[in-house]
Structure 1
Amino acid sequence: MKPVRILFVCLGNICRSPLAEGVMRELAKRAGCGQTIVVDSAGIGAWHVGDPPDRRSIAIARAQGIDIAGLRGRKIAVADFAAFDLILGMDGSNVRDLRRLAPPAAAHKVHLFLAYAEDRNEDVPDPYYQTAEAFEALYQALEAGCSSLLAKLERTS
């Protein structure tokens, strides 16, 4: 597999995108391509810069043997558009914001996560104001999407 750098983006970088980062990193490691797939996450806004992921994202990841507790929130930077091959927004609003921020030469890198990974034009719902069950559903959606993304990357390499 050829090297690929993936950035997952959500609104604040504490729920969806850090969990996607952890899931993708773990799946790539299990598949033996942890060295060729580089992942990171960022938020559209700066509300949670320097903060750890939401405790519910940490808990659901931990239940699956994935440690994301050391991740820290950060805001997307212009340099990210050059540094990453794929920039995957968790919902349509994230994608619109990313396309607005992207330099014209990098706009082709921005995609809706589930549309790119699974050919499903659907958002990954934001669980922030929801219950723990919403974080379980989030994990399931991200695990399925990241598995499909990994298979897609393997096929196109």
Structure 2
Amino acid sequence: MTKILMVCLGNICRSPLAEGILKSKLSKDFIIDSAGTANYHTGSAPDIRSIAVARNYGLDISKLKGRQFVVSDFDTFDLIYVMDESNFKNVVKLARNDQDIAKVNFILNEIHKGENFEVPDPYYGGDQGFENVYQMLDEACEKIAKNLL
């Protein structure tokens, strides 16, 4: 069983969206979760704008709860997708060895190999930013799902 973790800063905007999108594309034979590199929103539901954009596409992420990335996530997950450079640096800083680091990749590298493009944080923007992020993540998750199936 493949286990995949999506990581952003607070685990309320991008990573819960990515979790919900990828879950919708894969069977229950896969475990998908999300986490944040910071503890600002531990225990909180996703941002209402993330919930709304997901709902527009038939996905319900409202029951997800924010949590912080921990070192043991390297043991639990096979693939760890980060949203931006800051997330990458924070996750890799906790890595214990090269095997841990090898699990970490920018999610948009799935569609732009080796470019390390970032998924912008829509938190301080308007609704269109959440829509744009959804579209980016949907494309990347589609590619991830095709590669895993």
Alignment partner of 1:147 out of 135, 142, 146:
142
* 1:98-113 equivalences in 2 (<5 Å): 98-104=91-97, 105-113=99-107
Equivalent position amino acid for 2:107 in 1: F
Instruction: Calculate the TM-score normalised by the size of structure 1.
Output: 0.90
Q: How many residues align?
A: 146
Q: Quick one: which of 59, 62, 65 aligns to 1:72? A: 65
**What percentage of residue pairs aligned between the two structures are identical?**
45
1:93 counterpart = 2:86 = yes
Which amino acid in the other structure matches residue 112 of structure 1?
F
**Matches of 1:35 and 1:51 in 2, distance apart?**
24
Distance in 1 between residues matched to 2:134 and 2:108, nearest whole Å: 13
State the Cα RMSD in Å: 0.9
| Distance (Å, rounded) in 2 between the aligned partners of 1:73 and 1:121 | 25
Query: Once the two structures are superposed, what CA deviation does each residue of 1:11-43 show, in whole Å capped at 9, x if it has no partner?
Result: 000000000000000111xxxxx1222100000
Query: Which runs of no fewer than 5 residues in structure 2 stay unpaired?
Result: none
| SS of equivalent to 2:10 | coil
| Larger proportion of helix | 1
Paired with 2:100 and 2:125, the residues of 1 have a C-alpha distance of 34
CA distance in 2, matches of 1:136, 1:9: 19
1:7-156 matches, cutoff 5 A: 7-28=5-26, 34-104=27-97, 105-115=99-109, 117-118=110-111, 119=113, 120-154=115-149
Which amino acid counterpart does residue 113 of structure 1 have in structure 2? I
Runs of 4+ in structure 1 off by over 4 angstroms are none
Residue in structure 2 matched with residue 31 of structure 1 by the alignment: none
Amino acid at match of 2:7: V
Alpha-carbon separation, structure 2, partners of 1:95 and 1:152: 22
